[in-house]
């Protein structure tokens, strides 16, 4: 009888854990699609709102800047609240921001709505990983992190193409409205699916300013942050404008754009575990140094691409995504291992903020350089490609300066899986960005360690 009770208890506990994972993955899907869908809608937004590439870049960067600023604040105060309460409040704010994007009548209102959405969505990813860290014991945390990644995979392969379909056929407002309405169903399940998780509330907490100063005064942390900055500059100067370039210069139609996201998503899903295993087997830095030149080459290829058959454009885009995955997985594994375990939570929250800020800077920089002629063609995109390739190659030197202080321990699996997710988002942030993080958000995945 006692054994049966234990079996029933364990079975009930596992079902509860699976429900927690399902809810978190659904929320991740919603936040990632919201972030990703803006970039492939670029051609339509510029046409219907009568805005320049620089103004479109501000739509992208406003989200990431807001997410970065909010993440920086949250890194020092979010532990003062129960996880479920904080998660609910932020998710409500995110859904309201997404709905406001869909209802925005003007360009300036859309930018303001993106700021509100980014401020909430930028924190949700890290909070989801904090919940996993609280709910799942160390021996099951890596597997739980891998399950959470289904939200990113579905966002890349299904979410963006579906959003593009709605946007192309019914207008750019519709994907945001559909996403907000769909998120309401998940919202009602959160209070029942998530435990309260308030054991940490009421304990003494370090002063927020002191925590930030310590995080940003450690030289090894600064090296890791610098590596992230170069990676994001090497991504977001290019990714937000790829859709517009493929339509205006390469000759693809807006109806054909979903093909590149589906192809890129599928290829990165297959490439991510392969790259992760290679990085573990042969060393993160070695694999990183092997892939970075290829990534720089693909950035130059895509930003100088002439009119080519659609199949070739899709193939090259997929190759660029695989190269992006190849550099992000080992890079994020090294960044995660550059901090002592006791300081990892605050460091990774700060790192997420740095990633978002750098992404916004890259998007704004690219928009300031790219031009659009009267016939709609994108100009100076090749210049942006050279800047992205140069930043990517500079990261080779910075990666060698990151000192790994936590190369061993039971969280290695979680680190590898979380790094793979970061790639997907920042593979992802192409896909994610095309499009990315922060994603927004994916750097936060490493907080499970």
Determine the pLDDT at residue 381.
94
Determine the pLDDT at residue 432.
42
Look at residues 299, 279, 277, 298 and name the one whose alpha carbon lies nearest to residue 289: 279
Per-residue pLDDT tens, the chain, 449 aa: give them. 545 444 444 555 567 777 777 788 788 888 888 888 888 888 889 889 999 888 888 898 888 888 888 877 776 666 667 777 888 888 999 999 999 999 999 999 999 999 999 988 877 776 776 676 667 664 554 455 545 655 565 676 777 788 888 888 888 999 999 999 988 988 888 777 776 665 545 555 555 566 667 777 788 888 988 998 999 999 889 988 888 899 889 989 888 888 887 888 788 777 877 787 787 788 888 989 999 999 999 999 999 999 999 999 999 998 998 888 788 878 877 876 777 755 655 676 677 778 888 888 888 898 889 988 888 889 999 999 999 999 999 999 999 898 877 444 434 444 444 444 444 444 444 444 334 443 433 333 333 33
Q: Burial code of 230-252, b = ≥16 C-beta within 10 A, e = fewer?
A: bbbbbbbbbbbbbbbbbbbbbeb
- Encode pLDDT of 247-288 as tens digits: 889 989 888 888 887 888 788 777 877 787 787 788 888 989
Structural domains in the chain plus CATH codes: 17-197+207-448 (1.20.1250.20)
CB 87 within 8 A of CB 124: yes
CB 199 within 8 A of CB 83: no
* Phi and psi, residue 372, nearest 5°: -135, 125
3-state class of 378 per DSSP?
strand
Determine the pLDDT at residue 86.
82
Determine the pLDDT at residue 112.
95
Interacting residues of 84 by C-beta distance below 8 A, sequence separation 6+: 190, 191, 194, 195, 196, 197, 198
For the beta carbon of residue 368, count every other beta carbon within 10 angstroms: 16
Peptide bond into 329 cis (omega under 30): no
Q: What is the DSSP string of 390-401?
A: HHHHHHHHHHHH
Look at residues 414, 391, 392, 268 and name the one whose alpha carbon lies nearest to residue 333: 414
Determine the pLDDT at residue 234.
92
| Whole-angstrom distance, CA of residue 184 vs CA of residue 273 | 33
């Amino acid at each position: 009888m006692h054994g049966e009770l234990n079996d029933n208890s364990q079975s009930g506990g596992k079902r509860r854990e699976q429900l927690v994972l399902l809810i978190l993955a659904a929320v991740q899907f919603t936040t990632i699609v919201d972030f990703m869908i803006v970039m492939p809608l670029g051609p339509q937004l510029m046409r219907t709102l009568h805005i320049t590439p620089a103004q479109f870049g501000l739509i992208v960067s406003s989200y990431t800047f807001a997410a970065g600023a909010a993440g920086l604040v949250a890194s020092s105060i979010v532990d003062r609240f129960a996880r479920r309460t904080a998660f609910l409040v932020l998710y409500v704010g995110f859904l309201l921001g997404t709905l406001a994007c869909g209802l925005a009548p003007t360009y300036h209102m859309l930018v303001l709505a993106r700021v509100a959405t980014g401020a909430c969505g930028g924190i949700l990813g890290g909070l989801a990983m904090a919940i996993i860290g609280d709910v799942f014991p160390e021996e099951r945390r890596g597997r739980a992190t891998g399950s959470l990644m289904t939200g990113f995979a579905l966002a890349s392969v299904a979410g963006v193409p579906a959003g593009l379909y709605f946007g192309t056929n019914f207008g750019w407002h519709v994907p945001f409205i559909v996403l907000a309405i769909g998120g309401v169903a998940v919202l009602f399940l959160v209070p029942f699916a998530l435990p309260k998780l308030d054991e940490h509330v009421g304990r003494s907490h370090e002063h927020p300013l002191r925590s930030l100063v310590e995080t940003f005064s450690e030289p090894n942390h600064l090296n890791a942050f610098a590596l992230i900055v170069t990676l994001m500059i090497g991504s977001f100067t290019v990714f937000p404008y790829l859709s517009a370039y493929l339509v205006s210069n390469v000759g693809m139609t807006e109806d054909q754009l979903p093909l590149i996201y589906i192809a890129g998503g599928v290829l990165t899903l297959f490439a991510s575990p392969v790259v992760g295993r290679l990085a573990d087997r042969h060393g993160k830095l070695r694999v990183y140094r092997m892939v970075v030149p290829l990534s720089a080459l693909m950035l130059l290829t895509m930003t100088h691409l002439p009119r080519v058959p659609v199949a070739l454009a899709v193939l090259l885009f997929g190759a660029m995504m695989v190269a992006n995955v190849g550099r992000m997985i080992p890079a994020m594994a090294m960044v995660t291992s550059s901090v002592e375990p006791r300081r990892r939570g605050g460091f990774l929250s700060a790192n997420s903020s740095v990633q978002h800020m750098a992404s916004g800077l890259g998007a704004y920089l690219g928009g300031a350089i790219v031009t659009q002629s009267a016939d709609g063609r994108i100009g100076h995109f090749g210049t942006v490609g050279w800047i992205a390739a140069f930043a990517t190659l500079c990261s080779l030197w910075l990666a060698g300066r990151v000192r790994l202080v936590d190369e061993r321990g039971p969280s290695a699996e979680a680190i590898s899986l979380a790094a793979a997710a970061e790639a997907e988002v920042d593979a992802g942030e192409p896909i994610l960005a095309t499009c990315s993080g922060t994603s927004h958000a994916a750097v936060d995945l490493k907080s499970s360690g």
